[in-house]
Amino acid sequence: MSVASPISGSNAREEPRSVSPSLTLRDSPRPLRVGPYRPHGELGAGGMATVYWATGGAQLGMRRVCALKVLHDKLTSRENYLAMFFNEAKIASEITHPHVCGVFDYGTAGDKAYLAMDYVRGKSLAAISRAWGDLVDPQLHAQRIARIIADACEGLSAIHEHRSTSEPELRVVHRDVSPDNLILGFDGFVKVIDFGLAKIGERGEKTQSGILKGKVSYIAPELLHGDPPTPSADIWSLGVVAWELLTGKRLFRKDTDAETLHAIVEQAIEAPSKVRPGLPSNLDAIVLRALSRKPAERYRTMAEFGAALWGFLRTRAELVQHRDLRAWLAELFPGEEADLRARIESIAHTPALSVPPAARRSSELLGRVRARFGRALPARRQSRWVVAALAAVVCCGWAAFQWSNAHAHPLGTSRASLAGFSGLTSGAEQHIGDGLVVEVERANDSEVTVHVRAEAPHTAR
């Protein structure tokens, strides 16, 4: 008989949590800046890295909110960890799929190694399983879980089928499929996250002999016998996730790792409907096939697992849609989506560091400068003035960047057409408002050098 512990409220030792790009935002000590990104608070930390919610990208206007994963300082000097970190970044940046959390940037900045990924506004399946309480309608619950796992199958199938353009013979295995690494967004879409343990075929980063990677409770039994990881191992792990979400209990986790590993190899696996009365029995065979201890008896591919789940879903009176999952998540976490959106938008529409407002409102600045100095220009020079004014705006954008990095009063210098600044006296300062001062120097017969700086506090108007 299967002995399963509840998902929540168990006295069993907690496994290490993954770093998720969708956990609750919280303020914490953080680096001031990592490359072009500014962290605002910590999302989570793991053995290799810390993930922050961060903003970055544009110096003017709205900036992108992302999840910024930063490798721990103590690991950046160790080549194997650095290679593993950028292995994750490379794989994820090449995969574009609605059920995979994308990475859009990665690199190094000083002594920091980082990757920037989409910030998934939602909850991990682990958090959801702790929130739903008693299942009042097992049939509806089964349909929701079947749809979530079917969508996860699509994301993992995209990962398995991915072929690198440089090395198309290599194959990817996630190797850490678990409830912490599957996120249900507030939009109702499931995202697969965390490729930190992915392996690229036989020529990629190899695990040291005798060391298993992944959360112990979700490791496929063949890996315990020393077999190399294959996509079938991910199918097993997702089968464990499906069983646990359906029943609300843990399948293999015990008080010690040794007991857990023994259960993975030997423990009888009961049908979900036997553990949770009321679940549809025609879902049992679908889940149990994924949990066959012999890989050859499982689904051949993740896509085949997903197709079996879709076959079940189509037998229901109503198909669970993404909007239904979105409504369910809002019911489990009332008000959290609105609170999260408000907090993110308050950050996204304000400057990353203290900069004069005019430096981030280019169109308003252009109008102000034109109104101040354009009247002194002859009509035939207006087209040249537009070019020069745009140069001034570029200069102010550069000014904002310099301000954010140095906090010094001089902001930037740019070369522009003399025609655009004929209304200014060479060497004279002109206050253009919002804490900015423009000064021009004649460079030659056709050009001037434009200096932009912030007004000193005692002279600001």
Q: Is pLDDT of 297 > 90?
A: yes
Q: What is the pLDDT of residues 178-196, one digit of tens each?
A: 999 999 999 999 999 886 6
> CB atoms < 10 A from the CB of 416, how many?
21
- How many structural domains are present in the chain? 2
- Whether 75 is covered by a domain: the verdict is no
Please state, in angstroms and rounded to a whole number, the distance separating the CA atoms of residues 134 and 120. Answer: 27
> CB atoms < 10 A from the CB of 92, how many?
27
pLDDT band at 148 (very low <50, low <70, confident <90, very high): very high
- Residue 327: give the domain boundaries: 122-345
Select from 280, 311, 345 the last residue of a domain. 345
Select from 324, 345, 366 the last residue of a domain. 345
Please state, in angstroms and rounded to a whole number, the distance separating the CA atoms of residues 456 and 461. Answer: 10
Q: Is pLDDT of 277 > 70?
A: yes
Q: 125-139, 218-232, 402-416: which has the highest mean pLDDT?
A: 218-232
- Whether 216 is covered by a domain: the verdict is yes
- Whether 166 is covered by a domain: the verdict is yes
Same domain flag for 297 and 188: yes
Helices 231-247 and 138-161 sit at what angle, rounded to 10 degrees?
160
- Whether 31 is covered by a domain: the verdict is no
Same domain flag for 328 and 429: no
Select from 345, 376, 395 the last residue of a domain. 345
- Whether 252 is covered by a domain: the verdict is yes
For residue 309, give the H/E element and its range: helix 302-313
Please state, in angstroms and rounded to a whole number, the distance separating the CA atoms of residues 220 and 234. Answer: 8
Strand order in the sheet with 447-454: 410-417, 447-454, 436-442, 429-433
- Whether 218 is covered by a domain: the verdict is yes
Same domain flag for 381 and 307: no
Same domain flag for 269 and 416: no
Same domain flag for 445 and 413: yes
- Whether 46 is covered by a domain: the verdict is no
Contacts of 367 (CB under 8 A, 6+ apart): none
What are φ and ψ of residue 453, in 5° steps?
-145, 165
Same domain flag for 160 and 256: yes
Encoding tokens for residue 36? 């072009």
Same domain flag for 138 and 226: yes
Same domain flag for 303 and 386: no
Q: What is the pLDDT of residues 370-397, one digit of tens each?
A: 444 443 333 333 344 444 544 554 455 4
Annotated catalytic residue 194: no
Same domain flag for 339 and 383: no
Contacts of 21 (CB under 8 A, 6+ apart): 43, 51, 67, 69, 101, 117, 118, 119, 120, 183, 193
Q: Which of 461, 416, 406, 405 is nearest to 439 (CA)?
A: 416
- Whether 57 is covered by a domain: the verdict is no
Please state, in angstroms and rounded to a whole number, the distance separating the CA atoms of residues 195 and 92. Answer: 7
Q: Exactly one of 105, 118, 151, 176 is catalytic; name it.
A: 176
Q: What is the pLDDT of residues 17-74, one digit of tens each?
A: 445 555 444 444 566 788 888 888 888 887 788 899 888 865 444 568 889 999 898 8
| Average pLDDT over every residue of 302-325 | 95
Contacts of 15 (CB under 8 A, 6+ apart): 215, 216, 217, 253
Question: Distance of alpha carbon 246 from its chain centroid, rounded?
Answer: 27
Please state, in angstroms and rounded to a whole number, the distance separating the CA atoms of residues 295 and 275. Answer: 24
Q: Which residue has the tokens 């070019």?
A: 387
Same domain flag for 246 and 178: yes
| Average pLDDT over every residue of 170-180 | 88
CATH number, domain with residue 148 = 1.10.510.10
| Average pLDDT over every residue of 217-228 | 93
- Does residue 433 contact residue 365 with C-beta atoms inside 8 Å? no
pLDDT band at 461 (very low <50, low <70, confident <90, very high): very low
Same domain flag for 368 and 316: no
Question: For residues 452 and 140, which has the higher predicted lDDT (pLDDT)?
Answer: 140
Residue 407, amino acid: H
Same domain flag for 375 and 308: no
Alpha helices in 204-295, H assignment, sequence order? 221-224, 231-247, 257-266, 272-275, 284-290
DSSP E strands in 85-164: the ranges are 103-109, 112-118, 122-124
Encoding tokens for residue 190? 């499931």
Q: What is the pLDDT of residue 87?
A: 78
